[in-house]
A and B are shown apart, each in its own frame.
Chain A
Amino acid sequence: MLGRQPIGIAFVAPYAVFLAAVFAYPLGIAVYMSFYDWFFAAPGAVVDRPFVGFSNYVAVFSDPAVLRSFLNIAIFLVINVPLTVGLSLGLASALNAAIPLRTFFRVSFYVPYVTASVAVVGVWFFLFSSDGLVNEVLGDLAPDPSWLVNSTWAMPVIAVFVTWKQLGFFILLYLAALQNVPKELYESAAVDGASRLRSFWTVTVPGVRPATTLVVLLATITGANLFTEPYLLTNGGGPDGASASPVLVMYQRGIQQGQAGLAAAIGIVLVIGVLIISLINRKLLERD
């Protein structure tokens, strides 16, 4: 009745309780809020919060700023996810071998991930501002207006920044996964005369498939929920909302402007969207 190994229930109990107490309840509140003209009020205050059915959701799909933010995040994901998978697997493989100065290299790729965005952003400004290093190097090819205030380039720049910053995380994931690809497989491939590139494709890539699923899923999820970088890099959504992310808009509407019901609706729509994408990703990648 309880499954073949009911002790599993005991194992997961603390985690399940945690989820219920800390996530399920607030999530329920958020869903509830999205159907009302909701705003947060002081305890005991008598306030009028009319039920508005789906009108918050209608607003989500008709507000140009919100729609633009979803487009922005789609652009972000298209750039960020493939780049992340490719670069992190490539770098992890390179870092897995017995190369000189291995520790130094590993640390250098990990460093951006551990530094608080708040500090790194300043450096990024230095590089990408209109008189920054990148423009000095590019000379006449530099876009005008400059990168972060350019409505075409703002989001791609953020995508590159976030890819760079998070790569350490995904390299770590792949590094751990690579430890479990048996050495014998590489050796037998070498015996069969396979080149390094070929053994990469035939041994490494299939060998870390579960990790790849994980990387794609996590990159998609963290990407869709992007908040800190647009918040810090383009304070308030950039030129024309060109670098606003859905969570940023949600934050503005909900916490700054007090329209909590609308913000909740944005959040729920985002969650549903990401769930759909994640399910598709899983189906495509996981042949477990």
Chain B
Amino acid sequence: MKRTLTALLATIPLALTTVACNVDGGGGDGGDDAESAGKHGPITIWYSNNTEEVAWGKDMVAKWNGAHPDEKVTAQEIPAGKTAEEAIGASITAGTAPCLVFNTAPAAVPQFQKQGGLVPLDDFPDGAKYIEDRTGENAAQYKSPDGKYYQLPWKSNPVVIFYNKKAFAKAGVDAENPPLSTYDEFLDTARKVVKSNAAQYAIWPAPSSEFFQSWFDFYPLFAAETDGKLLVEDGKSTFAGDEGKKVTAFWQTIYKEGLAGKEKYNGDAFADGKAAMAIVGPWAIPVYKGKVEWGSAPVPTSQGKDAGEIHTFSDAKNVAMYSACKNRATAWDLMKFATSEEQDGALLEATGQMPLRTGLQDVYPDYFEKNPAYKEFADLTARTVEVPNVPNSIAIWQAVRDAYSNSVIFGKSDPDQAMQDAATKVDQLAGQS
């Protein structure tokens, strides 16, 4: 036994030395950045497997390939859920990432950037200008701390409150103009719904502790309450202040009075009629078709605000160029093509999600005439708040979620204290480089 143990221990330093010599050194080819930036040729792209986006994507690629037979694009689907970031991260490490991913979450960009996996679009002569021309002022939220753009803001899904008209009618609430703009009104409506058994819960945001869930309960209301503050600004957390306290107090009341479920629903609670309201963006509309007669309203604020002033969370997904890309000139051209006026319009038509382009309603008047319900979303795109582009952004959101879940959802601690503790942690994480 002793001999085996020694032998075992002896193999470890051997393995370590072999590792140390080889560990991710193998074949460094990052020095050809300048060369790649000018190259044209075939490229690979990934996009999400959302049905409508796939349809748009296939169409877009077909058009491009028809016009550019020497720069063929091969497209693959990847799942849009949480595993997408993990798959992308792994492919960066292995050097097998595609040129473009049309499903890059802004929250993952700091990490991918740290890995050396992203290409700054400022490398291209018209890079920054193209982005700022298309997206306007909002583009600033997508800049990295070093001032460069490592992502092209593509589309957003401004988060609003959807409500079930039938359920509201049953609860005796005005289904065309329900009182949902102040916290008090919202709570009142919610109580009526649950009391009258119009639905099991008034609203059912996912209560689970994944890092991104706060984007669909805490953050949209925080954005609205603060007129557009990000979670972290200038390296300091903002969410433990007075406005944040109001938001957590609101949600705490909702959970305390049983107006929202504490367990995750296996499916879409709003589509299945279990919850009378949902807090989500327009991508969900095709899911509700035929199942729920819905109306929408902006998220509530403590005192109520004009609909034209309310901010919300953007839930944006962007396009990023990855450093494994060899033919970057083609990739950049494709990025511009896919976000051109024509293609943005096609995206809008196919998916109902809002391209991050200024003046949507002026550029596509026909669409909004045909779909007046979407006007609200177009209007909101000018007032969306993004996740802060800071180091350790995922760990930051996890810390916030843990504090929120413990104190607000399960009532195990005082929300003000919990969020303050989280804020201290977040300050530390955001300060690391």
Q: Residues 242-269 of chain B: 1 if any A CB is under 8 Å from the residue's CB, otherwise 0?
A: 0000000000000000000111101000
Contact A122 B115 (CB under 8 A): no
Contact B395 A257 (CB under 8 A): yes
Report chain A residues within 8 Å CB of B20: 32
The answer, yes or no, to whether A77 is at the interface (CB within 8 Å) is no
The answer, yes or no, to whether A146 is at the interface (CB within 8 Å) is yes
Whether A146 contacts B263 in the complex (CB less than 8 A), given A44-B29, A44-B31, A241-B402, comes out as yes
Report chain A residues within 8 Å CB of B177: none
Tell me, rounded to whole Å, the shortest Cβ–Cβ distance linking A117 to chain B. 14
Report chain B residues within 8 Å CB of A65: 402
Q: Residues 18-33 of chain B: 1 if any A CB is under 8 Å from the residue's CB, otherwise 0?
A: 1110011011111100
Tell me, rounded to whole Å, the shortest Cβ–Cβ distance linking A170 to chain B. 28
Q: Residues 16-56 of chain A: 1 if any B CB is under 8 Å from the residue's CB, otherwise 0?
A: 00000000110111011000000111111111000000000
Whether A45 contacts B86 in the complex (CB less than 8 A), given A28-B16, A31-B12, comes out as no
Q: Could you tell me how many residues of chain B have their Cβ less than 8 Å away from some Cβ of chain A?
A: 56
Contact A28 B19 (CB under 8 A): yes
Whether A43 contacts B405 in the complex (CB less than 8 A), given A149-B207, A149-B262, comes out as no
Whether A259 contacts B395 in the complex (CB less than 8 A), given A129-B263, A145-B262, comes out as yes
Contact B209 A257 (CB under 8 A): no
Whether A32 contacts B16 in the complex (CB less than 8 A), given A43-B24, A44-B30, comes out as yes
Contact A258 B30 (CB under 8 A): no
Within 8 A of A (CB), among B9-47: 11-12, 15-16, 18-20, 23-24, 26-31
The answer, yes or no, to whether B111 is at the interface (CB within 8 Å) is yes
Residues on A lying within 8 angstroms of B by beta carbon are 24-25, 27-29, 31-32, 39-47, 65, 122, 125-126, 129-131, 145-146, 148-149, 151, 234-241, 252, 255-259
Residues on B lying within 8 angstroms of A by beta carbon are 11-12, 15-16, 18-20, 23-24, 26-31, 82, 85-86, 89-90, 92-95, 97, 111, 114-117, 200, 206-211, 213, 261-264, 266, 323-324, 392, 394-395, 398, 401-402, 405-406, 409-410, 412
Could you show 16 A-B contacts with beta carbons less than 8 Å apart? Answer: A31-B12, A31-B15, A39-B114, A40-B89, A42-B92, A43-B26, A44-B28, A47-B116, A126-B266, A146-B262, A151-B410, A235-B206, A235-B209, A240-B410, A240-B412, A257-B111
